[in-house]
A = this chain, B = another copy of it.
Amino acid sequence: MSATVMDGRATAATVVADVASRVSTLKRPPKLVFVQATDDAASASYVRSKARLAAKAGIDNETLKLPPTVDQEGLEATVRDLNVDDGVDGILVQLPLYPHLNAQSILEAIDPAKDVDGFHPENVGRLWLGQAAWAPATPQGVIELLDRHAIDVAGVNVTIVGRSMLVGKPAAALFLQRHASVTMVHSRSRDMVQHVRAADVIVAAAGRPGLIKREMVKAGAVAIDVGQSMSDGALVGDVAPDVAEVASFVTPTPGGTGPMTVAMVVKNTLLAYETRLGPNA
Interface residues of chain A, those whose CB is within 8 Å of chain B, are 104, 120-129, 131, 154-157, 163, 165, 169, 172, 176, 179, 181-186, 188-192, 194-195, 198
Sample 15 A-B pairs with CB under 8 A, ordered by A number: A104-B131, A121-B122, A123-B125, A125-B128, A155-B188, A155-B190, A157-B190, A172-B184, A176-B184, A176-B186, A179-B188, A181-B183, A181-B189, A181-B191, A181-B192
Q: Is the CB of B181 within 8 A of A195?
A: yes
Contact of A182 among B154, B183, B192 (CB under 8 A): B183
Chain B residues with Cβ below 8 Å from A185 are 181
Chain B residues with Cβ below 8 Å from A120 are 125
Contact of A157 among B104, B121, B191 (CB under 8 A): B191
CA A131 – CA B156 in complex, angstroms? 31
Contact of A128 among B157, B165, B186 (CB under 8 A): B165
Contact of A129 among B124, B176, B194 (CB under 8 A): B124
CA A120 – CA B179 in complex, angstroms? 23
CA A220 – CA B186 in complex, angstroms? 24
Chain B residues with Cβ below 8 Å from A182 are 183-184
Chain B residues with Cβ below 8 Å from A154 are 188
Chain B residues with Cβ below 8 Å from A198 are 191, 194, 198
CA A169 – CA B125 in complex, angstroms? 11
Q: Is the CB of B156 within 8 A of A190?
A: yes
Chain B residues with Cβ below 8 Å from A195 are 157, 181, 183
CA A57 – CA B178 in complex, angstroms? 43
Q: Is the CB of A183 within 8 A of B183?
A: yes
Chain B residues with Cβ below 8 Å from A131 are 104, 121
Closest to A124 in B: B125
**Closest-CB distance, A55 to chain B (whole angstroms):** 31
**Could you say which of A124, A125, A195 has the most chain B C-beta atoms within 10 Å of its C-beta?**
A125
Taking A121-B129, A128-B169 as known contacts, 14 extra A-B pairs with beta carbons closer than 8 A to each other, sorted by chain A number, are: A121-B122, A121-B131, A123-B125, A124-B124, A124-B129, A125-B125, A128-B165, A155-B188, A169-B176, A181-B186, A181-B192, A182-B183, A183-B183, A194-B198
CA A68 – CA B198 in complex, angstroms? 51
